Structure 1
Amino acid sequence: MEFFDNFLSLFKTIQFRDIIDILAIAFIIFGLFRLVRETRAVQLLKGVLVLFIVYFFSSLFGLVMLSSLLRAFFEASVVLIAIIFQPEIRKALEQMGRKNTWGRLISAFKQGKGDEWEKKVRKSIVDAADTATLFSHSRTGALIIFERETMMSDIAATGTIVDAETSVALFGNIFFNKAPLHDGAAIIRDGKLFAAGCILPLTSNNDVDINLGTRHRAALGMSEQSDAVVLVVSEETGVISLAFDGELTRDYTRDTLIKKLNELLLDEFEDVNNLRFKRGRKSK
């Protein structure tokens, strides 16, 4: 009964801002758990937990030197966490930036993406799909990146700037197995071939299928570190794949590839156009 009274008196002191504070902390902890549960960071967290247990028992049994050493370790934990979990922290911040829907809409308005931009993107999608189909039959490897919100000028700097209209012939010349740029990736920005021969980071996921080659691992790595959509054609099997949001989907045909690329690259543009159309109707 006394416990219940104490709890009730404590509950009466809780204000609305305290509830918001608790919910915010719970949301952050839940988000961190979701972020690290399928990564190597889980093992690191287990190691930190072991150190906490060792610290508890060293303090309990009066092991002064050991407890002092672990205390110093935990005091510097903020810096250590930033270093150890740097990939996970970077990924979380990038995802936060990508999921800002209103920010995307505002960005699309500012860039003035119109019908001409849409035509270029649709043409680049069809050209890439035709090229992928051709390469699939001829067993020619290819790696084509469709840039979205995240700009990849640093990746483009590792290759050669092309800045040309897309075409099947141009893709064929770039990925011809004797061409100097065939081993790298091509970047498509706003419907134009921006750069070729670019070097991509490999995926950090250790659970990737061992049968996947360097191209597919590079495609996954790029999709993990950005919101890009990466088209891959396997040199060994001719299978057409797409990597986006850190996942690889395979066995595309020309039609299914065009449909998926339109969905991934142009849905946001369609949302902006619909919003403009609604605003125009309201103003009338």
Structure 2
Amino acid sequence: MDQVWISLKNTLGDLITTVESVNVWDILDILMVAFLLYYIIKLVRDTRANQLVKGILLLLVLYAVVTTMPFKAMGFIMKALLQVGAFALVVVFQPELRRMLEKVGRTKLPFGLFSAGGQDERQQLEVRRMIDEVAQACESLSRHRTGALMVFEMQTKLGEIIRTGTVIDAYPSAEMIGNIFYVGSPLHDGAMVIRGARLYAAGCFLPLTENNDLSKELGTRHRASIGMSENSDAIVLVVSEETGVISVARNGVLTRNYTPETLGDYLRANLLPQENAQSEHRLPFRRAKK
């Protein structure tokens, strides 16, 4: 019993000594590591990398167990796996790594560093007009059950997507949008890309989501909208050909049942920096079923 108390006393003494030796730099170091771990967990939580992290932790635990025991063959295999695994992970999970780096790159920096600057009055007026034309077009498309897919480019440039379609580079109108998505149009099956306030391209191909837990009632357009929003910060607008329902995908989440009015509010709140509509939080939408 005396030995236990001596051991406990020594442990407490070492702990007190360690705490007393902590300085401001140590605290800052701990906070930075904690923030880094939190950010990494937040990034990988909703991707395939979530399962990857669990697998890596399991391998590390297994490696620790093997190295403490006289398992020569198993130890050799585990060591080889850890050496080659880092290169294999970069190849296999290249899309996830790219997506995470893009999210880090889209993080807003102080003082507007690397920023292209805010919109001037003329640009804001053009964006407002574009939003009005899009909302008007969606009202007509929804009423006539005409499918449509529109991508609003944000910070991430969509040059790769634009190259798969036809460049138009014109000011949009409700009539032009309706003609593009008319069933007889050669561009109606692809997506329209809006850059700034201009209808920049049409007939573009979007990546489909790899999420297999989505509702079976969602068609190819909806899956393409979610896939595009998973791979960029773009806002993707969908009009269902079967139901006429207007939906918006952003950050991998599909929100449904917009009206032309609430759609206009949402776009103004997200495409015009000075807007304070906060329509994402107060409007009665429902997200896509899983």
Q: Give the structure-1-normalised TM-score.
A: 0.87
Matching of residues 13-32 of structure 1 within 5 Å: 13-32=21-40
Q: Is the helix fraction higher in 1 or 2? A: 1
1:9 to 12, 17, 20: 17
Question: What's the counterpart of residue 80 of structure 1?
Answer: 88
Q: Conserved in 1, the CA contact under 8 Å of 2:268 and 2:275?
A: no
Gaps of 5+ in 1: 272-284
Q: Conserved in 2, the CA contact under 8 Å of 1:35 and 1:88?
A: no
Question: What's the counterpart of residue 175 of structure 2?
Answer: 169
* 1:214 to 2:220 alignment: yes
Residue 68 of structure 1: how far off its partner (Å): 1.3
Question: What's the counterpart of residue 226 of structure 1?
Answer: 232
Amino acid at match of 2:12: F
Matching of residues 8-157 of structure 1 within 5 Å: 8-100=16-108, 102=110, 107-109=115-117, 113-157=119-163
Give, in whole Å, the separation in 2 of the partners of 1:194 and 1:103: 30
Give, in whole Å, the separation in 1 of the partners of 2:69 and 2:13: 36
Q: Conserved in 2, the CA contact under 8 Å of 1:164 and 1:194?
A: yes
Question: What's the counterpart of residue 276 of structure 1?
Answer: none
Cα gap change, 1:231 to 1:153, in 2 (>3 Å): same
Deviates more, 1:215-224 or 1:43-52: 43-52
Secondary structure of the corresponding residue to residue 137 of structure 2: helix
Give, in whole Å, the separation in 2 of the partners of 1:190 and 1:38: 29
Give, in whole Å, the separation in 1 of the partners of 2:266 and 2:244: 19
Give, in whole Å, the separation in 2 of the partners of 1:69 and 1:176: 59
Gaps of 5+ in 2: 1-8, 277-290
Secondary structure of the corresponding residue to residue 61 of structure 1: coil
Secondary structure of the corresponding residue to residue 170 of structure 2: strand
Amino acid at match of 1:143: L
Cα gap change, 1:157 to 1:88, in 2 (>3 Å): same
Question: What's the counterpart of residue 201 of structure 2?
Answer: 195
Residue 4 of structure 1: how far off its partner (Å): 1.1
Cα gap change, 1:269 to 1:160, in 2 (>3 Å): farther
Q: Conserved in 2, the CA contact under 8 Å of 1:121 and 1:190?
A: yes
Q: Give a deviation string over 1:138-171, Cα, whole Å, max 9, x none.
A: 1100001111221111110000000111011111
Give, in whole Å, the separation in 2 of the partners of 1:83 and 1:156: 26
Question: What's the counterpart of residue 286 of structure 2?
Answer: none
Q: Conserved in 2, the CA contact under 8 Å of 1:108 and 1:269?
A: no
Give, in whole Å, the separation in 1 of the partners of 2:65 and 2:218: 46
Cα gap change, 1:202 to 1:43, in 2 (>3 Å): same
Question: What's the counterpart of residue 279 of structure 2?
Answer: none
Cα gap change, 1:141 to 1:56, in 2 (>3 Å): same
Amino acid at match of 2:141: F
Question: What's the counterpart of residue 248 of structure 1?
Answer: 254
Query: How many equivalent pairs are there?
Result: 268
Q: Give the structure-2-normalised TM-score.
A: 0.85
Aligned-residue CA RMSD (Å): 2.1
Cα gap change, 1:102 to 1:57, in 2 (>3 Å): closer
Question: What's the counterpart of residue 243 of structure 2?
Answer: 237
Cα gap change, 1:256 to 1:270, in 2 (>3 Å): closer
